[in-house]
């Protein structure tokens, strides 16, 4: 029943939001009710997976340990983004940037976005998963163009076209896995277990070709370089809570799809094939942001390029294997929390300064005392400074590759140093410079501060103390991938 509540709640919330007329308060109430229901349902599913290794609901929905980790990130960020959206949109309405109809459109698409991600994670069918991930593209394209500016419309079209082409390649790769010799279920339903059970019947060369298409296709959605070109534009133009969901949740869903297909590939061909491909895309995804972050002038784009970098770190961990797999999964959780903290902070900065240019942000620690501290701590966390959790996950990922790939590890360390230097320069300019006299002091409202504080406290806690159920599920997911 928990999964039924999880998927139906955002759908019902979206339908209910369409019925609201004239006042935004009912829309806020719907979002405030839906968010905790989704998070509580996720916690119940996590408990079930901890006890039984998987959560099964009928024939068409199963959540394994890998899906649980991704679900945890989506539900947690969705919960925080739901409440942050209330405070953020209130300020947008107060400034007369948007009106009631825009707010209603936002909440409808916000709930549908969550429903699509929950469905993609829970389904047992790779075809339905592809449909659900494509549905996220349609929902978020309108959210990226939310402000109807020319640059936002351009970013939305770029996002829609590049991701649709990428997912089309991913779908072609999926079809290649469905070799004519594969024996389908009696009802013709194609499930992940069907593909795994019939993997030995598929031609190895065909599997290699299929995985390359899947990796490029879903890698586009996951923001892997060089297919990443849509991501900085989309994340910088979307409303701040949507940027948090794009970086902290959606990228993980796409990466989960790649890992599921990699399991099938590794059972047919030598594991070095998929591992080397993932290492290649991982290094490229770290290298490109490293040089762009140094010269970046827009703080939302700065955080977007950081997302590309961290997806590269995760893929690198999965490519190295061993302890790197466990570290990459835990890195996924840490990155989701920290990147959402940064994008929520970015939303508060925009509400205060009405600019996304780093040059225009002065004296944040004075003008936005809470957000300034949260942003600085989020910066320390995202670049992997000890004692934050990302330091340990990056350490273990690099440790996993030092024996077999010493040159690659050395290159990655150099790139991470460049990223640290670039990030540090920008954050210091934003937080420690002197405040301009005309800039008022204080945050917009409680709801624009509390979600980021909630995620920051949660991140700090799990950096030092990882709950036993989560640790067990991470170990199970790592074993499944390895």
Cα distances (angstroms) measured from residue 371 to each of 72, 239, 245, 374: 25, 17, 19, 5
Give φ, ψ of 357 to 5 degrees. Answer: -85, 130
Q: Could you give the CA distance from residue 362 to residue 271 in angstroms, rounded to a whole number?
A: 50
Kindly tell me if the per-residue pLDDT of 435 is higher than 60: yes
What's the angle, vertex CA 112, arms to CA 109 and CA 116, rounded to 5?
135
Q: Could you give the CA distance from residue 226 to residue 174 in angstroms, rounded to a whole number?
A: 21
Q: Between residues 194 and 457, which one has the greater pLDDT?
A: 457
> What pLDDT score does 185 carry?
53
> What pLDDT score does 187 carry?
55
Cβ atoms < 10 Å from Cβ of 385: 13
> What pLDDT score does 148 carry?
85
> What pLDDT score does 53 carry?
84
> What pLDDT score does 230 carry?
92
Q: Could you give the CA distance from residue 60 to residue 108 in angstroms, rounded to a whole number?
A: 26
> What pLDDT score does 437 carry?
62
Cβ atoms < 10 Å from Cβ of 94: 11
Percentage of residues in the chain having pLDDT higher than 90: 73
Q: Which band of pLDDT confidence, cut at 50, 70 and 90, is reported for residue 439?
A: low
Kindly tell me if the per-residue pLDDT of 460 is higher than 90: yes
Kindly tell me if the per-residue pLDDT of 188 is higher than 70: no
Kindly tell me if the per-residue pLDDT of 109 is higher than 70: yes
Q: What is the pLDDT of residues 229-285, one digit of tens each?
A: 999 999 889 999 999 999 999 999 999 999 999 999 998 899 999 999 999 999 999
> What pLDDT score does 364 carry?
87
Stretch 55-65: mean pLDDT, rounded? Answer: 87
Considering only the C-alpha atoms of the chain, give the largest distance between any 2 of them, rounded to a whole number of Å: 72
Q: What is the pLDDT of residues 216-240, one digit of tens each?
A: 999 999 999 899 999 999 988 999 9
> What pLDDT score does 441 carry?
76
Range in 89-98, 129-138, 173-182, 394-403 the model is least confident about = 173-182
Tell the residue number behind the tokens 């990155």, with chain if given. 335
Q: What is the pLDDT of residues 303-350, one digit of tens each?
A: 999 999 999 999 999 999 999 999 999 999 999 999 999 999 999 999
Q: What is the pLDDT of residues 143-169, one digit of tens each?
A: 999 988 888 899 999 999 999 999 999
Kindly tell me if the per-residue pLDDT of 58 is higher than 80: no
> What pLDDT score does 373 carry?
93
Q: pLDDT averaged over the chain?
A: 91
Q: Could you give the CA distance from residue 93 to residue 165 in angstroms, rounded to a whole number?
A: 36
């Amino acid at each position: 029943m928990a999964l039924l509540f999880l998927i139906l709640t955002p759908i019902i919330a979206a339908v209910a939001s369409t019925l609201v007329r004239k006042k935004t308060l009912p829309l806020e109430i719907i979002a405030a009710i839906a968010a905790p229901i989704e998070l509580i349902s996720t916690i119940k599913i996590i408990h079930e997976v901890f006890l039984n290794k998987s959560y099964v609901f009928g024939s068409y929905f199963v959540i394994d340990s890998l899906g649980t980790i991704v679900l945890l990130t989506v539900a947690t960020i969705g919960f925080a983004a739901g409440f942050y959206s209330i405070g953020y949109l209130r300020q947008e309405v107060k400034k007369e940037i948007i009106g009631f109809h825009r707010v209603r459109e936002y909440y409808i698409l916000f709930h549908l976005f969550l429903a699509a991600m929950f469905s993609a994670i829970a389904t047992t069918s790779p075809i339905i998963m592809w449909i659900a991930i494509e549905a996220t593209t349609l929902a978020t394209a309108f959210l990226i163009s939310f402000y109807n500016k020319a640059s936002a419309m351009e970013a939305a079209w770029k996002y829609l076209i590049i991701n649709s082409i990428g997912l089309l390649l991913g779908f072609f790769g999926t079809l290649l896995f469905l070799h004519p010799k594969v024996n389908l279920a009696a009802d013709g339903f194609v499930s992940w277990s069907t593909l795994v059970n019939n993997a030995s019947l598929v031609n190895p060369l065909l599997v290699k070709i299929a995985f390359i298409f899947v990796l490029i296709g879903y890698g586009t959605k996951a923001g892997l370089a060089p297919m990443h070109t849509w991501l900085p534009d989309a994340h910088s133009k979307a409303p701040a809570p949507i940027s948090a969901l794009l970086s902290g949740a959606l990228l993980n869903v796409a990466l989960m799809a790649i890992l599921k297909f990699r399991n099938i590939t590794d059972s047919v061909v030598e594991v070095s094939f998929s591992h080397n491909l993932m290492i290649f895309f991982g290094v490229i995804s770290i290298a490109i942001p490293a040089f762009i972050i140094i010269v970046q002038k827009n703080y939302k784009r700065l955080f977007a390029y950081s997302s590309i970098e961290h997806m590269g770190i995760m893929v690198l961990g999965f490519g190295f294997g061993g302890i790197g797999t466990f570290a990459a999964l835990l890195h996924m959780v840490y990155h989701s929390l920290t990147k959402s903290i940064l994008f929520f902070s970015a939303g508060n900065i925009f509400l205060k300064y009405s600019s996304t240019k780093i040059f225009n942000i002065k004296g944040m620690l004075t003008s936005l005392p809470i957000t300034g501290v949260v942003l600085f701590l989020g910066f320390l966390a995202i670049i992997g400074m000890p004692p934050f959790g990302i330091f340990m996950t990056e350490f273990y990922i690099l440790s996993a590759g030092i024996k077999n790939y010493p040159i690659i590890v050395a290159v990655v360390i150099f790139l991470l140093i460049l990223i640290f230097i670039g990030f540090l320069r920008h954050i210091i300019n934003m937080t420690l410079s002197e405040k301009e006299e005309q800039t008022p002091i204080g945050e917009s409202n409680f709801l624009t501060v509390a979600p980021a504080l909630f995620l920051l406290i949660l991140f700090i806690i799990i950096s030092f103390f990882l709950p036993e159920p989560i640790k067990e599920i991470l170990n199970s997911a790592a074993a499944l991938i390895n």
